[in-house]
A and B are shown apart, each in its own frame.
Chain A
Amino acid sequence: MGRYVVRRVIQAIPVILGATFLIYALVFLLPGDPIQALAGERRADPTVVAMLHNRYHLDDPFFLQYWHYLVGLFQGDFGEDYRGNAVVDVMTRAFPYTINLALTALVIEMVVGVVAGVIAALRRGRFIDNLVLISTLMVISIPTFVIGFVLQLLLGVKLHTDYGIDFFPVSFNEDAGFRAYLLPAYVLASTSLAYIARLTRTSLIEVMRADYVRTAVAKGLSPLRVVVRHGLRNALIPIVTFLGMDLGSLMGGAVITEGIFNIPGIGHQLFQSVYLRERTIVVGVVSALVLVYLFTNLVVDLLYAVLDPRIRYE
């Protein structure tokens, strides 16, 4: 298994290189001058522009610029943005918000999604099952930003103005602590939550038909033990995979949610940086996200072997 991990890590290197190259090239191809973008609507002073171009090698050919960037990267230097801030600082400031948000979302979708799915599966064809099926279908078909704005209006604004309840901050507020993440995390989790509920339902229904569940019943085990030990234990295998893959998507997908709720995380940062042509920040953030993807993927694959002893990695 150790060798398997080493192989996977080695395989990750070209993926990360490819990702940085792609993002670097895409930002390079964006029309508009990054130094001019810094000045906004005003016309920037041509001498300053020329000076900054020189400082950031902006007039060099693309490949040379990329080469400079790579060399820096291998020395652990993510470079700096056009305002002179180290990219590492920008990222370490923004990432904790997004990590908090994504992890809260992950917990919400796991708990609510799995519970809803289990209840639906065990009450198949009844009212509660249909309720889960229809509501999840709605959540899946409504865009996240609509859900975001609606919940912000209902739970953030209305609850405050109509009932005087201030539980969910309308806009992100550091002082509110963990509470500030609840509503955004729920919005961020909503689509995945719906998928997990449906996936759990299907998976559990399938597993409950298996021969070994029949054996468990024939052993005289309690219904709870049959469902949890023999049903869920097997039904959760595909769900763990989904959750692992989803952590990366949640962090990348936070752009919209962070925008709606004003959370200063990497989604926010990414959006601004693309707008400002801040190549180094965009590449840094995206590469970090790629790393998260690769890492969670590896963890999921390893977890898979723990959950299903039939799988072995050599």
Chain B
Amino acid sequence: MTDTTKPSGARDGGPRLDAVELLGARRENLVPGTPLLEVDDLHVEFATRDGIAKAVNGVSYSVSAGETLAVLGESGSGKSVTAQAIMGILDMPPGRITAGKILFRGQDLLRMSSKARRAVRGRKIAMIFQDALSSLNPVLSVGFQLGEMFRAHHGTSRKEAKDKAIELMERVRIPAARQRVNDFPHQFSGGMRQRIMIAMALSMEPDLIIADEPTTALDVTVQAQVMDLLAELQAEFHMGLILITHDLGVVADVADKIAVMYAGRIVETSPVHELYARPAHPYTKGLLNSIPRLDQKGQNLYAIQGLPPSLLKIPTGCAFNPRCDRTQDRCLVELPPLVPVLDAEGADLPGRHSACHFWKETLHG
């Protein structure tokens, strides 16, 4: 009988799982609350013509099974690069991971053989991309592209794979799936295409899905449908979900916790509703203020002044200092670490961190 409360690696006393064991590991074998994925102090840089672009500068976050982490930040803040590092699909070169760990079920993905890594990719961790039209192969039918997952990972026959593809399409509620299985991506609407991407990510019933701005390219009405579908399937399969977005409005209903990124760093983490109520970082506050609100109709929309920094030359001290209205001398020289924040009485606020020297003033002031 399998001990269902311990990680399977603990059976032989070894701290490490090999790839085969990792694939065999069942969801139930996880200690409840133990993170499925832990990114630890990840650094990624790109060699460009003008110098080294430091896209990710010490990102740490974690997701557990059944949990949704929203990663928020302006475009260029390193959200996608972090995701690509997790998936192992970074362009290397020019990209380079200079430091950090990415632990999946306690095992460092960055130290795995490429074969073991490939067994995780798509099968244990799957990804949904922003632009489904360009992310699907234009010359292969959607049925082929869905079925390919089963053929490549399970050695399923061509015919059986097609049946599985139809099943998947029905599962993501694509109408007339059987008739449309041989259609090509360009023959579907944007929303349907993104459903196909979701179906593809779901095909192996992965432990973790990374959705990189899955609704950004869609019409507003379709956005909500796709988001609901994703949330529903995540709950059904009890998967971990990393939802990358630059749109605070999208995450409120689906995320459990939020990590806010700025210039390749996490500047604030928080359970979702607390963040909306009381941000602990001036950047988050700016983001929240720039959401259009119905009760402020007619008023000028707030926008954070200035532009995100060049990754070739990130400001010393706090990277946000040129745009912040709280900037003091200290912010210009001293990099603020991501520290736990406390409530007004000095009690711990679980899950809340801020990388601002003046988090107290921001949170309580």
A218 lies within 8 A of B127 (CB): yes
B126 touches A218 (CB 8 A): yes
Quick one: which of A240-292 are within 8 Å of B by CB?
A: none
**A interface, CB within 8 angstroms of B:** 210-212, 214-222, 225, 229-230, 233-234, 237, 307-310
Contact of B118 among A210, A214, A220, A308 (CB under 8 A): A220
- B213 CB–A CB distance under 8 Å: no
Residues in B whose Cβ lies below 8 Å from that of A216? 137
How far is A307 from B87 in the complex, measured between Cα atoms in Å? Answer: 30
Chain A residues within 8 Å of B226, by CB: none
Distance in Å from the Cβ of B324 to the closest Cβ of chain A? Answer: 35
Supposing A214-B89, A310-B186 touch, asked if A219 and B122 sit within 8 A by C-beta, the answer is: yes
B67 → chain A closest CB, angstroms: 21
Report the Cα distance A43→B152, complex, angstroms: 79
In the bound complex, CA of A219 to CA of B203 (Å):
10
A212 to B139, CA, bound (A): 10
Which residues of chain A come closer than 8 Å to B153, judged between CB atoms? 220
Is the CB–CB distance between B89 and A218 below 8 Å? yes
Known: A211-B131, A218-B121, A220-B152. A230 touches B137 (CB 8 A): yes
Q: Is B318 an interface residue (CB 8 A)?
A: no
| Extra 16 A-B pairs, beta carbons < 8 Å, given A220-B153, A310-B186 | A211-B129, A212-B137, A217-B121, A219-B121, A219-B149, A220-B118, A220-B121, A221-B122, A222-B152, A230-B137, A307-B139, A309-B138, A309-B141, A309-B186, A310-B138, A310-B184
Contact residues, B128-165 vs A (CB, 8 A): 129, 131, 134-141, 148-149, 152-153
Q: Which residue from A217, A220, A234, A307 sits with its C-beta under 8 Å from B137?
A: A234
A220→B136 contact, CB < 8 A: no
23 A-B pairs with C-beta separation under 8 A: A211-B129, A212-B134, A212-B135, A212-B136, A212-B137, A214-B129, A215-B137, A217-B121, A218-B87, A218-B126, A218-B127, A218-B129, A219-B121, A219-B149, A220-B118, A220-B119, A220-B120, A221-B148, A229-B148, A230-B140, A234-B137, A310-B138, A310-B184
Residues of B in contact with A, size category: 20 to 34
Interface status of B341 (Cβ within 8 A of chain A): no
Interface of A is mostly: helix
Residues of B within 8 A of A210 (CB): 134
Question: In whole Å, how far is B188's beta carbon from the nearest beta carbon of chain A?
Answer: 12
Query: Does B43 belong to the interface (CB within 8 Å)?
Result: no
Nearest chain B CB to A73's CB is how many angstroms away?
Answer: 42
Report Cα–Cα, A237/B139, bound state, in Å: 10
Query: Which residue of B138, B184, B186, B200 contacts A219 across the interface (Cβ within 8 Å)?
Result: B200
CB-CB under 8 A for A234 and B135, given A219-B152, A220-B122, A310-B186: no
Which residues of A lie under 8 Å from residue B131 when comparing CB positions?
Answer: 211
Which of A218, A234, A310 is the most central at the interface, judged by chain B CB atoms within 10 Å of its CB?
A: A218
Within 8 A of A (CB), among B97-134: 118-123, 126-127, 129, 131, 134
A215–B134 CA distance with the chains assembled, in angstroms: 9
Known: A220-B153, A221-B152, A310-B186. A214 touches B135 (CB 8 A): yes
Q: Which residue of A lies closest to B210 (CB)?
A: A218
Asked if A234 and B120 sit within 8 Å, CB to CB, the answer is no
Residues A212 and B118 in contact, CB atoms below 8 Å apart: no
When distances are taken between beta carbons in the complex, the residues of chain B under 8 Å from A217 are 89, 121
Q: Which residue of A is nearest B137, CB measured?
A: A212
* Cβ contacts under 8 Å, B139 to chain A: 233-234, 237, 307-310
Least CB distance from A221 to B in Å reads 5
A225 to B200, CA, bound (A): 17
A216-B149 Cα distance, complex, nearest whole Å? 10
Chain B CB count within 10 A is highest, among A217, A233, A234, A307, for: A217
Given contacts A219-B200, A225-B152, A309-B184, contact A233 B140 (CB under 8 A): yes
Q: Which one of A217, A219, A221, A234 has the greatest number of beta carbons of chain B within 10 Å?
A: A219
A295 CA to B184 CA, complexed, in Å: 29
